[in-house]
Structure 1
Amino acid sequence: MPFVLYLLGLAVFAQATSEFMLSGLGPDIARDLGVSIPATGWLTSAFALGMVVGAPTIAVLGNRWPRRRTLLVTLTVFLAVHVVGALTTDFTVLLITRILAALANAGFLAIALATAASLVPPDAKGRATSVLLGGTTLACIAGVPAGALLGTSFGWRSAFWAVAIVSVPALLGILWSVRDRLSGPPVPVRFQVRPRLAVLLLLGALVNGATFCSFTYLSPVLTDVTGLGLAWVPGLLALFGIGSFIGVTAAGRYADRRDNRLVLLAGSTLLLGWCAFALAAGYVVPTIALVLAQGALSFAVGSTLVAYALYAGTDTPALTGGLATAALNVGAAAGPVLGGLAITRTGYRAPLWVSAALVATALCVGWCSTRGRRLG
């Protein structure tokens, strides 16, 4: 893999850390800026909304720009708004920086996916995708805990400074290493998503919705259902992140085969895993094993679907990357909402069953749509 891919992955690592780190910084932000803790939740919601809207929008607007320029502009904006966020004393300004950061993040990831696919042979898109999405999984393992540690030790602003600093090497690497070429052919005014691509985007949203439905509420599952102490939670969240890194790495090896049977097998195993987790969540040893396994399977299936989408949308790579980014974030936003509704009715074990239902829906859609044809 070209070295520049790992620099793009570093930028994705910084962006994913920024997206997830607020879960541990909310109380400190609330105290410092004089707002309620529920109000700090708007920062997360604003980021998610910006990701969904920004990915396809910026991919289309920047489609006639050279890729290097689009990557540099979006990453520079991302870095700059984190500096502003670290300096501001006004919650409204901080909220605006989160929206701008999400728009820049979404646009960067959309073009980065297209760039990664163009830097490797035509049959290696899966491996290139795994390098980029590996940045997200490493953020779960190291970035988010490090942000929480910085926030605890030096205040929440230090975490924002750290994200800005980590973005600098990626910015320089893009400046030196990415060729100045157009992001892709013009998007037709009447552009329509082809049925195969639409199915892949739907499957990606469903699988990612299942992932974040359970991951969002993993802490209360571990404490209230499994009966573990709070001290266990950071380690098991990191274990889920380790599993996700393993899954993304493995998917990079197999996604380029574009074999429906592998996706259906992995998806079926993922479904069985969520069912087993829901049934065995009251027991410590199965819970620990399933946290690792479900992290690996969830991200393996999800990253494979993203690679398949890039194969299906080779004629408009930047827009396809934007649509894939938006689909993943629709799932990431909808999954926790569905899980939260289920919790109010049946308790903390419910998100695990909701995840199983979402994956089952994805399998049904995938099976009915292919009928012998390739997904990727």
Structure 2
Amino acid sequence: MNVNKGFATLAALCASVFVVGTSEYLISGLLPQVGADLDVSVGTAGQAVTAYALGVVVGGPVMALLTARLSRKGLAVGLMALFAAGSAISALAPSFGLLLVGRVVSSLSHAAFLALALVTAARVVPAEKTGSAIATVASGFTVATLLGVPLGALLGQSAGWRAPFAVLTALAVAGTVLLAAVLPRQEVPAARLRDEIRVVARRPVMLAIATTAVGFSGVATVFTYIAPLLTWVSGFSAAAVSGLLLAYGVGSFLGNLTAGKLTDKSMSATVRGVFGGLTGTLLLIPFAAVWQPTAVAAVLVLGLLATATIAPLQGLILRHAGAAPTLAVSANVGAFNLGAAAGSVIGGTIVAVGALRWTGLAGAALSLIGLALTYLVLPRTRTAQDAEPEVSTLTAA
């Protein structure tokens, strides 16, 4: 693949990742409107995040296994079409139950598509640039947080919560057409299903997946309910909350790209620094939220750290995956969403008992566990460079 075609391929994938990524947390900024329109509580409305996340966790690995032998181009186009169908169901849902159905349909394409994009990115750069490549593709996801989620929340404020899902459907259809036009045809992957399963069963991969799930649940515990926290505790208007979500997205975008570059230098230091920072930030949020200036600072720092674990943890998995990375990467994408599901349930429980302000304490405890797990994934005595000989052994196994 020449440079121009490679750039066009990655650009199309990144644009599509932006569309898919917008869907995941779009509803987080619309919970009060969804709850009022469909006659459910804010805590119940938050379970629309849970439904999507669980769809990714369960459906992602299943889709990866079922599609392992399909053409990459056909798979990408089909996954985007499935996502468009789910978004349309969500936009038209007359009840909360049907909204959940639409969310699950969309979620089935999420992990498999993102895995496809990340694996493609890693294969078009030298091995020592894997972290930066992963961060570049994942920037589609962070730009979704930067622009898609807050703009969707702003549109939902003025035109109703269904309007953002209608726009998302149109963008998904456009993404499907773009992928069909731009992606080159590729040979069917040579890896067998048992190769994919064997990679996931490797200890470093399993530990990385566990670290992702536990660590990210801390972020989700707070972020799922960030709109009511900023409205009811900090006293911001709905329009101001949209602006703060934009600030969160700026932090996510910058943090992801920075973490990618740092991962190329030291994977272990990067992932531990991120989890340590998350633990401290989440611990302070209950106290920062009561004063608007510190609430703004806390949201910005949380955004800076929230997605910075993507590059080091996905890079670790790709390092051990060899020629069969699809299921492992998809499982780790699912782990982020398992963390989102767990976090939204934990946060919802805390909100239900009237303790919305204190979700950060639970989040900090979960991130601290994630930090502890990093010492099992990447022992202090090992560096990224030291791990290279082991990769060859594992790949050949």
TM-score (norm. length: structure 2)? 0.83
Identity %: 32
CA-CA distance at 1:124 after TM superposition: 2.4
CA-CA distance at 1:5 after TM superposition: 1.7
CA-CA distance at 1:90 after TM superposition: 7.2
Find the counterpart in structure 1 of residue 334 from structure 2: 326
CA-CA distance at 1:197 after TM superposition: 0.9
SS in 2 for 1:180: coil
Find the counterpart in structure 2 of residue 341 from structure 1: 349
Does residue 208 of structure 1 match 2:216? yes
Does residue 104 of structure 1 match 2:112? no
Superposition pairs for residues 255-334 of structure 1, below 5 Å? 255-334=263-342
Superposition pairs for residues 76-91 of structure 1, below 5 Å? 76-83=81-88, 85-86=90-91
Larger CA deviation: 238-247 vs 1-10: 1-10
Does residue 161 of structure 1 match 2:166? yes
For structure 2, the 5+ residue unaligned runs are: 1-5, 388-397
Q: C-alpha separation between the residues in 2 aligned to 1:279 and 1:84?
A: 40
The residue type paired with residue 180 of structure 1 is: Q
Find the counterpart in structure 1 of residue 393 from structure 2: none
- Structure 2 contact 51–341 (Cα < 8 Å) conserved: no
Q: C-alpha separation between the residues in 1 aligned to 2:69 and 2:357?
A: 48
Find the counterpart in structure 2 of residue 65 from structure 1: 70
SS in 2 for 1:171: helix
CA-CA distance at 1:104 after TM superposition: 1.9
Residues 283-311 of structure 1: per-residue CA shift (max 9 Å, x gap)? 33333222111211221134432232222
SS in 2 for 1:268: helix
CA-CA distance at 1:119 after TM superposition: 2.7
SS in 2 for 1:237: helix
**1:264–1:160 distance in 2 versus 1, CA, 3 Å:** closer
CA-CA distance at 1:331 after TM superposition: 0.3
The residue type paired with residue 373 of structure 1 is: R
Larger CA deviation: 329-338 vs 128-137: 128-137
Larger CA deviation: 227-236 vs 197-206: 227-236
- Structure 1 contact 82–97 (Cα < 8 Å) conserved: yes
CA-CA distance at 1:57 after TM superposition: 0.7
Does residue 188 of structure 1 match 2:194? yes
Q: How many residues align?
A: 374
Residues 140-183 of structure 1: per-residue CA shift (max 9 Å, x gap)? 22212333344454455443331122224433443323442334
**1:27–1:279 distance in 2 versus 1, CA, 3 Å:** closer
Find the counterpart in structure 1 of residue 39 from structure 2: 36
- Structure 2 contact 49–344 (Cα < 8 Å) conserved: no
TM-score (norm. length: structure 1)? 0.87
Q: C-alpha separation between the residues in 1 aligned to 2:78 and 2:113?
A: 9
Q: C-alpha separation between the residues in 2 aligned to 1:156 and 1:21?
A: 10
Superposition pairs for residues 11-30 of structure 1, below 5 Å? 11-24=16-29
Residues 109-159 of structure 1: per-residue CA shift (max 9 Å, x gap)? 222222222232223222222123222222222212333344454455443
CA-CA distance at 1:320 after TM superposition: 1.4
CA-CA distance at 1:108 after TM superposition: 1.5
**1:260–1:26 distance in 2 versus 1, CA, 3 Å:** closer
- Structure 1 contact 183–318 (Cα < 8 Å) conserved: no
CA-CA distance at 1:59 after TM superposition: 0.7
The residue type paired with residue 40 of structure 2 is: I
Larger CA deviation: 18-27 vs 283-292: 18-27
CA-CA distance at 1:225 after TM superposition: 4.0
For structure 1, the 5+ residue unaligned runs are: none
**1:30–1:350 distance in 2 versus 1, CA, 3 Å:** closer
Equivalent residue for 2:60, pick from 44, 55, 58: 55
Q: C-alpha separation between the residues in 1 aligned to 2:355 and 2:347?
A: 10
Find the counterpart in structure 2 of residue 373 from structure 1: 382
Q: C-alpha separation between the residues in 2 aligned to 1:363 and 1:299?
A: 15
Find the counterpart in structure 2 of residue 142 from structure 1: 147
SS in 1 for 2:128: coil
Q: What is the root-mean-square deviation of aligned Cα atoms in Å?
A: 2.9
Q: C-alpha separation between the residues in 2 aligned to 1:99 and 1:72?
A: 18
Larger CA deviation: 340-349 vs 304-313: 340-349
Does residue 237 of structure 1 match 2:245? yes
- Structure 1 contact 184–318 (Cα < 8 Å) conserved: no
The residue type paired with residue 330 of structure 1 is: L
- Structure 1 contact 126–304 (Cα < 8 Å) conserved: yes
Residues 248-280 of structure 1: per-residue CA shift (max 9 Å, x gap)? 111221222343123223332332222333444
- Structure 1 contact 207–302 (Cα < 8 Å) conserved: no
CA-CA distance at 1:324 after TM superposition: 0.9
